[in-house]
Structure formats: structure tokens, C-alpha cells
Amino acid sequence: MVNGLSLEAVASQLRYRKDLLEMMAGVYGSRTVAVLQALRTAPSEYAIRVNMLKMDAEEVMEELRGEGVSCRLSEVAPEAVMIKVEGPFDVERQGKQVIARKGAAESVMMGSKLYGPGVLRTDGYRIGDRVYITDIHDHVVGRGVAVMPPKKTSEVAKGMAVDTKASIYRLPPLRESRLYVLGRIREQSLPAMMTSRELDPRPGETVVDMCAAPGGKSTAPRRAPPARKT
């Protein structure tokens, strides 16, 4: 039992496997449902890392604010700018279903468009039809307009599959911004930025990162970066 509900009821409600819930309940106990729901919830802020060799965090923040982005400087990482996440919003099931892979579904949930490699399965539809996007657990993450034919084979299609029009949460399209194109910002979570600093590796030491890709922590400053020289 979890929060007075049987594991079968929780598994059906949240669409998780019973054996996984049993394992999590053994660790989290009565907090299991809250943990699972938190995993489906976006943070209140999204961190980006500034390339301090090219631009100061204050300059990045001012440029983003000039574009209407609500953001602030991080109190713990001088190279981080925190962007406010809008939402949650209600997203209705309209049209045919498109099931997205885990990473793609998480991106769509934040407002990104859905691309071919992120599509797992689709219902039959025509290009231009309205579709709604779900994760593998049938949780709706967004809806939009289909711009690619339905997935019929295991072949991975390239290009945009769904032009997202509504999502549960919303972020500005950072990868389309001038700052991103010029290599002045990149996505990186605040904990990932702090990892190298807290680890404080020394010459001669061997560090094995068990969660490495695409390598942001490897290029992170070991100490707080100095102000950029002008």
C-alpha cells in the first residue's frame, strides 16, 4: 500500500510497472507517489551556462531580458543564468496521437518541437492534421500540427515531425537564439555546473564520470571563473 492505495491502483493511475513501484516503495515508502509526480514536473527555473571566455553572465542576462525573457543571475554559479519556466498549462488531446521517446517527450513538455528521431509510434494522420504528443506512459506533454508522414517502419526519419503549438511548460527557444548560435550559452543544469567545482580534481587524479554526455562537466571550471577581460 502507498498513501492508502494498492500498488496496482497506483500503477494504473501513474502508468508505471508494479515491480518498479514495489522497488521504489521499499526506498521511499509513503513518499513514492510524490517522488513520481515530481519527476513529471518541470523546475521553476531552467539553467543555462555562459561561455565566460566570450561573454559575461551579466551581458547574457541583459540581452535575454531585452528579448522579453524573465531571468536572473545564479547566486551559487557565476557562469549560470536562471530562466523562469512558465506553466503548467492544460493541454487537451486533439486529433491523433504521437508517442514520443523519453528525452523527446521531456523536450516537448518544455515547448520544443518534436523531431523524427524522437518519434516512437504514431496514429494514422495526414500532414497538416492536429496531433497530441504523449510520453510512453500516455501522459500528454504537448500538441501541435503534423509536418511529417506517420511513422510506419522502424526506420528513423529526420527533420521536424510535429510543430509544437502548446505544451505543459514553456521556455524561450534558446537554441534558436543568437547567443546559442554564437556559442555564448549552452544548456547545463546547475548541479552539473557545480559538480566539477565541488569535486575539485587535482593533477594526476583519475576521475570517472558515470553520467557523461555531451561532456559539459569535463569543460567546466574547477573554480569560479574570473571576469572576462575587456
Q: Residue 142 domain-assigned?
A: yes
Residue 3 confidence class, pLDDT cut points 50, 70, 90? low
The grid coordinates listed for 14 are: 501513474
Q: Which residue is listed with cell 506533454?
A: 141
Residues 27 and 133 in one domain: no
Residues 19 and 79 in one domain: no
Q: Residue 224 domain-assigned?
A: no
Single out the residue of 23, 50, 129, 92 nearest to residue 2, CA to CA: 23
> How far apart (Å, rounded) are the C-alpha atoms in residues 176 and 134?
24
User: Which domain CATH number covers 144?
Assistant: 2.30.130.10
Residues 102 and 213 in one domain: no
Predicted confidence (pLDDT) at residue 133 exceeds the cutoff of 90: yes
CB 190 within 8 A of CB 80: yes
Tell me how far CA of residue 7 lies from CA of 11, 53, 137, 139, 212, in angstroms: 6, 52, 16, 19, 34
- The mean pLDDT value for 172-179 works out to 90
Residues 17 and 75 in one domain: no
CB 104 within 8 A of CB 122: no
Number of domains in the chain: 3
Predicted confidence (pLDDT) at residue 225 exceeds the cutoff of 70: no
CB 185 within 8 A of CB 60: yes
The grid coordinates listed for 102 are: 523519453
Residues 80 and 181 in one domain: yes
Predicted confidence (pLDDT) at residue 14 exceeds the cutoff of 80: no
Q: Residue 226 domain-assigned?
A: no
Residues 141 and 110 in one domain: yes
- The mean pLDDT value for 155-177 works out to 90
Q: Residue 13 domain-assigned?
A: yes
What pTM, to 2 d.p., does this model score? 0.77
Residues 119 and 140 in one domain: yes
Predicted confidence (pLDDT) at residue 154 exceeds the cutoff of 90: no
Q: Residue 67 domain-assigned?
A: yes
Among 35-39, 178-182, 188-192, the least confident range: 35-39
Q: Residue 132 domain-assigned?
A: yes
Q: Residue 123 domain-assigned?
A: yes
pLDDT digits (tens, 9 = 90+) for 78-121: 999 999 999 999 999 999 999 999 999 999 999 999 999 999 99
Tell me how far CA of residue 47 lies from CA of 35, 142, 174, 180, 199, in angstroms: 22, 22, 11, 14, 20
Domain that holds residue 24: 7-39
Q: Across all residues in the chain, what is the average pLDDT?
A: 87
CB 78 within 8 A of CB 93: no
CB 22 within 8 A of CB 32: no
